[in-house]
Amino acid sequence: MNSDNPRISEELGSAPALSSNLRFFKSELRILPGVVIPLHSMLVETPTKVILVSPVGTKAELLACEGKQVILVEPSLLHHKRLAKAVQRLEPQELWGPEGFSDKLPEFKDARVFGRDPWPHDDALSFALIDGVPKRNEVVFFHHPSRTLYTADLAFAIMEPKGALAPFALRMLGVYKQFAVPKMWNRWVKDVPAFQKSIDRVLSWPIENIAMAHGDHVRGNAREKLFAALRARELV
């Protein structure tokens, strides 16, 4: 989710963890006047590195990466508002993005590309491309030890909306106070067979939990809930 001039709060801290080496950091994003949505990054820690997905730029997040080898990941073409600041502060050893990332952000032309370049961190975090959606080229991630899927925008679960216009806006998106796939995906998907094949790959993982950039964690039976949310949009 994005707008042309999003406003991001940096004064929030850590979100609840789902595993000892899996952490989340929370902030907020004002997408429109009167509409504020949560914004979460994900951090996977190993003895030798940290993988930070969709940085939000909070002090807690920066502190968690301090003194460590950082692998910095942007999970879609529209989730990069804090990237320049994160690169400056964290000096990542590797920067990753989806196909089209360097075209959109030429200052990061040396970024590695999911699906093109070998991903050497599958021992810590697996990924799957969401094909058939060129506006986003989203990449989702699966943390095997906790059986947790992380998605930038494939699903929302905003149970405590903020802002006077948030109830109206989130109802228009079809995500008001519920776990749901936003209605925009019906417009974004341009190649239905490619999209559905991608979803088949995602649902082949033994998903128990879902962590989202925009919303609360879904704990338990998450694979079935994701399938139901996609089916509700007639996307599977």
Question: What count of other Cβ atoms lies within 10 Å of the Cβ of residue 21?
Answer: 15
Closest CA to 81 of 125, 27, 151: 27
> What percent of the chain is modeled with pLDDT above 70?
92
Residue showing tokens 């820690």 = 45
Q: Tell me the per-residue pLDDT of 181-219, one tens digit each, with 9 for 90 and over.
A: 999 999 999 999 999 999 999 999 999 999 999 999 999
Q: Tell me the per-residue pLDDT of 125-140, one tens digit each, with 9 for 90 and over.
A: 999 999 999 999 999 9
C-alpha distances in Å from residue 223, one per residue of 22, 42, 53, 125, 206: 19, 19, 21, 18, 7
Q: pLDDT at position 1, please? A: 43
Check: CB of residue 11 under 8 Å from CB of residue 58: yes
Question: What count of other Cβ atoms lies within 10 Å of the Cβ of residue 40?
Answer: 23
pLDDT tier for residue 17 given thresholds of 50, 70 and 90: low
H-assigned helices in the chain: 59-65, 83-90, 101-104, 166-173, 185-188, 192-203, 222-232
CA gap 111, 70 in Å, rounded: 14
Domain boundaries, the chain: 7-232
CA gap 179, 199 in Å, rounded: 17
Q: pLDDT at position 6, please? A: 32
CA gap 216, 177 in Å, rounded: 10
Specify the CATH class of 7-232 in words: alpha beta
Q: pLDDT at position 80, please? A: 85
User: Model-level pTM?
Assistant: 0.90
